[in-house]
């Protein structure tokens, strides 16, 4: 079980009779097929780069243009206005060729130049069209003529059958906002959170900044925006994620859980095999760019840049900051099971193993009864604790020998798989089961997920699944896309036999999983145990509660003619105000993927208008008609903030980047320091779904994922993630800290349910 299958292509020995050469034909065949697969991928990538480089033009359009040019020339018509003849006389080697070769060559050359010019004209026209965002600001109802014409032009110049990365060169760059606009928006956002004295003081700080270093810092940002693809994203990745020295478990990583309303099999190896196979098929579509790019309204493209590092990516610890290591290909996954680590090959003879073949390998790992090596069981606690001790330990103990080889097998794996020895489940009558499920995915035991991998797939002993994802390489929608794809393929494409095992029959015996070997000295084990102690303190302080709100969903919200997201955000504001008797700075994540290399921006959900609505809900002098009117105003304000964030008019990334520039220049800004130190006591995010066309929630509403969540951002605050799961269900994931006496996830969850019910009653009451 623990030994590797033979991978020696040939061996030889010297005897009295001479040199005896022994060829291993099976190994040679495997080496050959592996090389062929590698070259196919290289050639495929090169072809995709050419296609993407000229998109929205296509190779077929080149053939069409070349045929027209050549045909007209042969017919005696010169549509090149003499350029073909000019090329014939001015290119030396063409001038010396025969007249037929000369004509054909110059026609092809002219056609190619014309085709490239056409491609660039279409590309830059599309880029100019994508600068327009007026469509987002239109009121609900029929689309305006202007927007209809614009969308028609985008479809016309957007090309057909795009690859995943086809639109990348046509996406516009995000612009740097004006300092004055950012400050005005900021002051408006904090007005409901400050008394007059504090607000006047903040106004003075903002005025000094605007009249002082603000414009200078902004000029540097504009210079950066001209030079770089995106003036925000590289600094956001480096300073917000990779420079953090505290644990990434709970503090940064996020999680997702199963579609809990269905349970296709209780056999752990079978479920793992199907999902692993689905993820590897997704990776194949990613590599070949056959994965469809996300198009808003089936027309407007979003940036696909973040997909590139979804697989074979690991966060490498450093003393001052971490880095991301990405490998272009991997033919294995890393597996953790009952304290042991394995390298499991997922390809054999150049072919991806079928689910039934993967099940055999996974069952071998589950059945293996060998004991963990000293220190091996808790090894992954290094990735859960503080970053500096892990960085030092990695250099000292994992830079050579068996430890380096085994660590390489984990870090260069396609992804990490954890086969848990405990079950988790959903029970509509016992919410604590879902809470335990969520905690298992968020942090596990602190040593059974490799928190540095781009993601860890977790398969529980009863066949339930979930994941834990590292955050620096991409944002949640990218993982949600993979999760939705894999879950649907698992259930609807692969399926299971009546006994719960995978469908199909093995066509070959899969290679034995390789048990990874470790030689961990006592000093290294001491570091591991110290990291585990840090991880335990962190995970024991997590208070997580998951709510399945099924009283109503977006179906009712749409009858109120209110955005479901704005509706839920106001419910969260109401719940928080009732719980804390005050308002707080609220973070809602919004994407900026309408721009090249865009990631996220902040929507400040606590506004003057939302506060007015919240106060009215418990004000007996207000009627339901008054409250509805206030809510409509508040939701419009929220929607405007969301649109501004998506279209590059948000303020928080701009303020962050100006702060970074000030640090590079060695200058301190009291205004920026205070702004960047304000705690987000309510951090919220909506989990996206239906990013593929594979799942029909009308026919299969029970197959919606329960979403996922994250840890609290502030010590005395809440992290709230929610997924609008179809027409009638919303899942809320609420997290806070046990050590905080003023927060409680269960009580806050009850407040959310009450707020949702009160708002529904408000709309349902006779007026």
Three-state SS string across 258-309, please? CCCCCCCCCCHHHHHHHHHHHHHHHHHHHHHCCCCCCEECCCEECCCHHHHH
Assign 5 a pLDDT band (cuts: 50, 70, 90): very low
Helices (H), 55-178: 59-74, 83-90, 92-95, 99-130, 145-157
Evaluate whether 415 touches 531 at the Cβ level (below 8 Å).
no
Residue range 353-389, pLDDT digits in tens: 999 999 999 999 999 999 999 999 999 999 999 999 9
* Confidence band, pLDDT 50/70/90 cuts, at residue 142: confident
Q: What is the DSSP string of 625-687?
A: HHHHHHHHHHHHHHHHHHHHHHTT--SHHHHHHHHHHHHHHT---HHHHHHHH---SEEEEEP
Domain termination site, one of 106, 123, 157: 157
Q: Is residue 4 very low, low, confident or very high in pLDDT (cuts 50, 70, 90)?
A: very low
Per DSSP, 460 falls in state: -
Task: Give the model's pLDDT for residue 32.
Answer: 63
Residue 405 domain-assigned (yes or no): yes
Whether 5 is in a domain gets the answer no
Of the two residues 539 and 297, the one the predictor is more confident about is 539
Confidence of residue 1 (pLDDT cuts 50, 70, 90): very low
Sign of torsion over alpha carbons 243, 247, 249, 254:
negative
Q: Domain range spanning residue 762? A: 550-647+680-766
Say whether both 391 and 274 belong to one domain: yes
* CATH code of the domain covering residue 749: 3.30.559.10
Least confident segment among 77-91, 220-234, 271-285, 650-664: 77-91
558 and 502, same domain (yes or no): no
Q: Which of 488, 504, 536 is the last residue of a domain?
A: 536
- This prediction's pTM: 0.91
Query: For 31-68, how does the pLDDT look when each residue is reduced to its tens digit (9 = 90+)?
Result: 566 566 666 767 777 777 777 777 888 888 888 888 98
Residues 125 and 262 in one domain: no
Cα separation, 176 vs 221, whole angstroms: 7
**16-25, 57-66, 301-310, 540-549: segment of lowest average pLDDT:** 16-25
Number of domains in the chain: 4
Q: Do 504 and 410 lie in a common domain? A: yes
- Phi/psi for 13 (5° steps) reads -140, 150
How do strand 347-348 and strand 351-352 relate by DSSP bridges?
Answer: antiparallel
For the chain, what is the radius of gyration of the CA atoms?
Answer: 29
Run of H or E residues at 46: helix 25-54
688: left (phi over 0), alpha (psi -120 to 50) or beta: beta
Count CB atoms within 10 A of the CB of residue 572: 26
Yes or no: say if 326 and 200 are a contact pair by the CB < 8 Å rule.
no
What integer pLDDT is reported at residue 6 of this predicted model? 37
Is the torsion defined by CA of 88, 91, 93, 96 positive or negative? positive
Q: How far is CA 103 from CA 66, 76, 77, 87, 100, in A?
A: 12, 12, 13, 9, 5
521 and 570 assigned to the same domain: no
Mean pLDDT of 734-746: 97
- Check whether residue 637 and residue 740 sit in a common domain: yes
> Residue 727 has what pLDDT?
85
Identify whether residues 287 and 322 lie together within a single domain. Answer: yes
270 with 327, same domain: the answer is: yes
Compute the average pLDDT of residues 751-762. Answer: 96
Q: What is the mean pLDDT of the chain?
A: 91
Please give the structure tokens belonging to residue 274: 């199907």
Q: Show which of 501, 536, 571 is a domain's final residue.
A: 536
Does residue 223 belong to any structural domain of this protein? no
User: Which residues, 6+ apart, have CB-to-CB distance to 643 below 8 Å?
Assistant: 133, 136, 137
Whether residue 483 lies inside any domain: the answer is yes
181 assigned to some structural domain: no
Q: From CA 633, how far away is CA 619, in angstroms rounded?
A: 18
Name the one residue in this structure whose structure tokens are 């008797």. 581
Q: Which has the higher per-residue pLDDT, 106 or 393? A: 393
CA pair distance 6, 24, nearest whole angstrom: 9
Q: Do strands 416-419 and 729-737 pair parallel, antiparallel, or not at all (unpaired)?
A: unpaired
User: Are residues 21 and 66 located together in one domain of the fold?
Assistant: no
Buried b (16+ CB within 10 A) or exposed e, 137-171: eeeeeeeeeebeebbeebeebbbeebbbbbbbbbb
Tokens of 473: 């390489």
pLDDT in tens, 564-620: 999 999 999 999 999 999 999 999 999 999 999 999 999 999 999 999 999 999 999
In a 13 Å sphere around the CA of 597, the CA atoms on its Cβ side amount to 16
Q: Is residue 236 part of a domain?
A: no
Catalytic site residues?
Answer: 471
Q: Are residues 484 and 581 in the same domain?
A: no
Cβ atoms < 10 Å from Cβ of 52? 18
**Are residue 383 and residue 530 in the same domain, yes or no?**
yes
The answer to whether residue 685 is domain-embedded is yes
When pLDDT is cut at 50, 70 and 90, the band that residue 19 belongs to is low
What is the pLDDT at residue 573?
A: 98
What mean pLDDT do residues 504-524 have?
A: 95
User: CA 230 from chain center: how many Å?
Assistant: 18
2 — pLDDT class (breaks 50, 70, 90): very low
- Give the Å distances, CA to CA, from 7 to 11, 14, 511: 11, 21, 11
Of the candidates 511, 452, 139, the residue with the CA atom closest to the CA atom of residue 322: 452
Q: Residues 261, 123: one domain?
A: no
Residue 13 has pLDDT above 90, yes or no: no
Has residue 174 been placed in a domain? Answer: no
The pLDDT tens digits of the residues spanning 458-491 come to: 999 999 999 999 999 999 999 999 999 999 999 9
The burial of 622, by beta-carbon neighbours within 10 Å (0-12 exposed, 13-18 middle, 19 or more buried), is given as middle
Please state the rounded mean pLDDT for residues 141-152. 90
């Amino acid at each position: 079980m623990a030994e590797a299958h033979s991978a020696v292509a040939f061996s030889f020995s010297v005897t009295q009779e001479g040199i005896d050469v022994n060829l291993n034909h099976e190994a040679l065949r495997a080496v050959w097929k592996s090389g062929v697969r590698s070259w196919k991928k290289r050639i495929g990538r090169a072809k995709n780069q050419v296609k993407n480089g000229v998109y929205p033009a296509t190779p077929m359009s080149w053939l069409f243009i070349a045929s027209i040019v050549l045909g007209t020339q042969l017919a005696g018509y010169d549509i090149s206005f003499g350029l073909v003849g000019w090329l014939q006389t001015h290119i030396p080697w063409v001038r010396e060729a025969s007249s037929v070769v000369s004509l054909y060559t110059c026609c092809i050359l002219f056609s190619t130049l014309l085709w490239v010019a056409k491609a660039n004209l279409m590309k830059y026209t599309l880029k100019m069209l994508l600068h327009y965002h007026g469509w987002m600001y239109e009121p609900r109802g029929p689309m305006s003529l202007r927007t209809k014409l614009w969308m028609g032009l985008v479809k016309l110049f957007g090309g057909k059958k795009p690859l995943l990365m086809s639109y990348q060169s046509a996406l516009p760059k995000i612009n740097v906002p004006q300092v004055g606009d950012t400050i005005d928006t900021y002051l408006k956002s904090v007005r409901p959170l400050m008394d007059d004295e504090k607000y006047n003081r903040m106004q003075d700080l903002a005025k000094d900044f605007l009249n002082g270093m603000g414009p200078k810092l902004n000029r540097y940002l504009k210079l950066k925006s001209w030079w770089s693809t995106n003036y925000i994203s590289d600094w956001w990745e480096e300073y917000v994620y990779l420079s953090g020295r505290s644990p990434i478990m709970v503090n940064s990583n996020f999680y997702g859980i199963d579609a809990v309303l269905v349970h296709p099999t209780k056999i752990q190896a079978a479920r793992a095999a199907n999902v692993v196979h689905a993820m590897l098929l997704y990776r194949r579509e990613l590599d070949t760019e056959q994965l469809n790019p996300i198009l808003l309204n089936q027309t407007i493209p979003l940036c696909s840049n973040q997909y590139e590092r979804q697989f074979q990516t690991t966060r490498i610890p450093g003393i001052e900051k971490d880095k991301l290591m990405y490998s272009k290909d991997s033919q294995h996954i890393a597996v953790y099971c009952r304290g042991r680590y394995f390298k499991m090959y997922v390809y054999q003879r150049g072919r991806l193993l079928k689910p039934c073949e993967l099940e055999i390998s996974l069952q071998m790992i589950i059945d293996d009864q060998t004991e963990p090596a000293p220190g091996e069981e808790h090894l992954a606690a290094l990735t859960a604790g503080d970053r500096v001790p892990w960085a030092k330990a990695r250099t000292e103990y994992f830079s050579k020998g068996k430890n380096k080889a085994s660590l390489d097998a984990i870090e260069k794996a396609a992804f990490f798989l954890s086969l848990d020895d405990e079950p988790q489940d959903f029970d509509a009558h016992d919410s604590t089961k879902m809470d335990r499920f969520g905690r298992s995915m968020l942090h596990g035991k602190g040593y059974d997920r490799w928190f540095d991998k781009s993601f860890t797939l977790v398969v529980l002993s009863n066949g339930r699944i979930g994941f834990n994802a590292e955050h620096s390489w991409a944002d949640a929608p990218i993982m949600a896309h993979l999760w939705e794809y894999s879950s649907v393929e698992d259930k609807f494409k692969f399926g299971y036999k009546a006994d719960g095992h995978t469908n199909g029959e093995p066509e070959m015996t899969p290679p034995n999983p390789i048990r990874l070997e470790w030689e961990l000295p006592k000093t290294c084990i001491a570091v591991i145990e110290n990291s585990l102690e840090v991880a335990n303190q962190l995970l024991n302080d997590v208070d997580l509660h998951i709510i399945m709100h099924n009283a109503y969903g977006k179906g009712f919200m749409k009858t109120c003619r209110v955005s479901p997201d704005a509706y839920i955000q106001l419910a969260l504001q109401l719940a928080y105000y009732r719980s804390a008797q005050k308002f707080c700075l609220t973070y809602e994540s919004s994407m900026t993927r309408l721009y090249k290399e865009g990631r996220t921006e902040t929507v400040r959900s606590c506004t003057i208008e939302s506060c007015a609505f919240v106060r009215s809900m418990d004000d007996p002098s207000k009627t339901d008609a008054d409250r509805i009117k206030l809510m409509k105003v508040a939701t419009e304000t929220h929607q405007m903030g969301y649109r501004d964030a998506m279209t590059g008019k948000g303020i928080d990334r701009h303020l962050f980047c100006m702060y970074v520039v000030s640090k590079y220049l060695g200058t301190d800004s009291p205004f920026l320091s205070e702004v960047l130190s304000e705690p987000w006591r309510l951090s919220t995010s909506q989990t996206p779904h239906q990013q593929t066309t594979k799942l029909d929630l009308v026919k299969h509403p029970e197959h919606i994922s329960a979403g996922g969540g994250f840890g609290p951002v502030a010590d005395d605050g809440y992290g709230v993630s929610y997924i609008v799961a179809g027409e009638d269900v919303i899942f809320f994931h609420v997290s806070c800290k046990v050590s905080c006496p003023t927060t409680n996830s269960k009580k806050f969850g009850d407040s959310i349910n009450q707020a949702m019910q009160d708002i529904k009653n408000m709309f349902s009451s006779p007026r």
